[in-house]
Copies of this chain bind each other. A is one copy, B any other.
Amino acid sequence: MLLQNVLNRYGLRMGRPIRTRRQATLASLAAELGVSRTTVSNAYNRPDQLSPELRRRVLETARRLGYPGPDPVARSLRTRKAGAVGLLLTENLSYAFRDPAAVGVLEGLALACEDAGVGLHLVPASPGNEDVAAVHRAGVDGFVVYSVPDDDPHLGAVLERPVPTVIVDQPRVDGVDRVGPDDAAAVTAMAQHLISLGHRQIGVLCMRLARERNDDFVSIQRQSAAHFHVQRIRLEALAAAFSAAGVDWATVPVVERFDHTVDDGASAARQLLDAYPQVTAVICTSDILALGALAEAERRGLRVPQDLTVTGFDGITEAERSGLTTVHQPVLEKGKAAGKLLLSSADRVGPKVITLATELRVGRTSAPPRTVEERWFGP
């Protein structure tokens, strides 16, 4: 400990090749030059405030001393600008990077940040981790919160921070900017599509509804108590539309999956179809789950869409390629919009909500259901 201190005092550092002879600071550089700290600072930040000749000397000496320019942290402290925005996504990072919809949002956000010349700080916050210290430790000028449950402790920590915040998709928090599609309208359009095709025996696959795992059928109570706002809204919209079409929502099986992979979609479809072989349409709240459902249908020898209709949500490339009937939402734009909203929030008053357009894309996976006779005796 003592040795370490001594080394520190002289700006030496252990354990690394000595690339820079000592830790030069703005002050030591000023001393070396015999000028004030102000002047050195100006050399970097306000070239017009000192003569070109002196500036050249300053920079030249800096190079000679290995001074890498003003320390970013100290500068941030003084200017109250970190030059970065934080991204909070309470999701297993693996899935965040594997789901093309999430990657799209990330990409859009990154683009917006790049345009503005600010960094994007990914805050480490795995789902099981209740430790919000990472949120407190992040030196950022604002936060984008992407798809977290309304009872997530990290969300609370973010909202406590005195910086602007934009929430993408969910949850809906009063007084906080938000970017997202009109999920209810989008899902309603999808429901109308299926209803008009004649489907009445439906099943639903949805993403996780709460922070606790429940890879099983979902009760009505759990549906309406879902902490993931988007999922709740989508289920409610489906319920409303199908109820209006004479379907008793209490009889509609809904299967939940905690993890969001194609395999989970397949297993959910298996669980659904094992218990409810009579369903004619499987509605999925994401394309990933729907791709899994398609795989399971194939495994069972069910032809899509003749024997089974499958629909998704998001409009990812893979879905388009496989002809999935889905709701397309502009994920890239969503991320971009979030970034722009956040970065412009300084000169705006009051919270703002941006609603993105969605589009029902009817593909090759939806068709009228077969009649009971057809189901049993063939076409």
Contacts and interface: CB of A to CB of B under 8 A. Distances in A.
A374 to B, nearest CB: 33
Most chain-B Cβ atoms within 10 A of its Cβ — which of A70, A113, A114, A348?
A114
B97 A110 contact: yes
Interface string A69-84: 1111111110000111
A329 to B, nearest CB: 17
A347 B15 CA distance: 6
A73 B139 contact: yes
A230 B121 CA distance: 28
A301 interface: no
A119 B117 contact: no
Interface residues of A, number: 65
Number of copies: 2
A42 interface: no
Interface in A342-369: 345-351
Contact of A137 (B72, B346, B348): B72
Contacts of A68: 136, 160-162
17 contacts: A15-B346, A15-B349, A16-B164, A16-B345, A16-B349, A20-B160, A66-B160, A75-B137, A83-B134, A84-B139, A97-B104, A97-B110, A103-B103, A110-B122, A117-B124, A119-B123, A119-B134
